Structure 1
């Protein structure tokens, strides 16, 4: 089981982020990213919301750093760790917009893009951006087919109900067809991931629910099941709980895990990364060699 990190600071959910994150800037994030890269972690994450209604922000949070700008900066401070959008809302973008903008990120980062995508659920944000909400699932399925056809291609072509184009040059473009992880918490999201993606990123599900959903599908070879730790882990102060939490995720079917860490400062977060890295042999965790 490989290990990535839920990047601190870039998403701040009510009651789920540390005080230091409120005032932290790109320097702190870059230091954490560089440490994770050096220690051999698999990926960083960054999510997307354009604008969240004030009332909704009280439950979902209002701080969401833009993934394209954030990863563009972090790419310069890292050299191996993958840059995973978690998640990009498909309905907010034309597939060729994603192919161009995130393909450029893949090119400048040396082929390190992972497109984590989702259907979206915030109707007010869809309305703000003047994109359809009611049929967003069908549109997302077609957008995924278009991305699989066009991502990494200089001359793109796709013909569908919602998206139709041919002989369109996308340059620069991704160095290869970047992996696509599909987020969600339903059987439909897992089906979407199996049919159109390379991995599934579920959220808000109990272990038994995960097992039941995963048992319904024959997962393709190399398909990633990307689970999250949920509550932050503290490998420095509570090593045993950290080991138990990661062992439960492995038993639930995780091939990859995105870890949230308890930290009281950016320096403490970097220390936690090192402490977790040192547990690799006890759980047979897979890290890239230390740089």
Structure 2
């Protein structure tokens, strides 16, 4: 089981000095990865229900919390670490230009010597899509095409792709990644599981319901097999409690990476370091 920490670019880690201390302490403690979150904007008084909380509100319960750009934050801490992997959990794919994103991710992967884990999602906050001028109803199809485009720009020498939402012919996009960038698809729907099976290297549901996740993992594997891909190569990630009891339960349904959130403080101090160490030793 691999262990990561989520919400890395929130709370006190929005400040540079604290972000450095946090990332270096997590690496020293032996965590495999740090995971960032993303919202470009959060519309005041949004009504779209946040799908991962009973009250329909994002963590923090406020509309004006600081959420630094995940790729910028990852680049910053990549320069002061050497081994810990850096993940987006998740990057909201349809809200970003496909080529600008592919280039930024490839650049970060090269600079960090292959430490990027690209967690992706189609998004859920309709008011955010409206503010950015992106069609909410088409977000799933746009996401699928962008993932195809990323691969073309990262893997082809002279790159071409033709789709309904993305089209380009014979272009160079340099630098290319240092190697294969894992695409880990987030979501708790069958569509997300299908996307993982057809396009991804892994799947990242967060519902917490073991039976539901096991069903989705099975669906992702079937979709991978139908697409002519090896289902056994899919990596399964979730967020949860890093206790021995729960680690055993997660492993039993095929989860290979567990992401936890040990931090709930408004500052990073010696007590925070003790928490990270305790989780790493659990």
Q: Which moved more, 1:37-46 or 1:53-62?
A: 53-62
TM-score (norm 2): 0.84
RMSD between aligned residues: 2.2
Give yes or no for contact 1:183–1:189 (8 Å, CA) kept in 2. Answer: yes
Give yes or no for contact 2:7–2:37 (8 Å, CA) kept in 1. Answer: no
2:26 to 36, 42, 66: 36
Partner of 1:223: 234
Structure 2 runs not aligned, ≥5 long: 48-55, 225-230
Give yes or no for contact 2:207–2:213 (8 Å, CA) kept in 1. Answer: no
CA offsets 1:228-259 (integer angstroms, 9 cap, x no match): 116xx6xxxxxxxx222322222232111111
2:142 to 139, 160, 181: 139
Q: Which moved more, 1:242-251 or 1:79-88?
A: 242-251
Find the aligned partners of 1:76 and 1:23 in 2 and give their Cα distance.
15
Alpha-carbon shift at residue 205 of structure 1 (Å): 4.1
Find the aligned partners of 1:229 and 1:26 in 2 and give their Cα distance.
27
Q: Secondary structure at the match of 1:3?
A: strand
Partner of 1:174: 177
Give yes or no for contact 1:156–1:166 (8 Å, CA) kept in 2. Answer: yes
Alpha-carbon shift at residue 116 of structure 1 (Å): 0.7
Matched, 1:260 2:261: yes
Give yes or no for contact 1:99–1:173 (8 Å, CA) kept in 2. Answer: no
Matched, 1:67 2:46: no
TM-score (norm 1): 0.81
1:271-286 alignment runs, 5 A limit: 271-279=274-282
Q: Which moved more, 1:270-279 or 1:103-112?
A: 270-279
Partner of 2:207: 204
Give yes or no for contact 1:82–1:114 (8 Å, CA) kept in 2. Answer: yes
Matched, 1:93 2:96: yes
Q: Which moved more, 1:113-122 or 1:255-264?
A: 255-264
Structure 1 runs not aligned, ≥5 long: 12-20, 234-241, 280-291
Q: Which moved more, 1:120-129 or 1:189-198?
A: 120-129
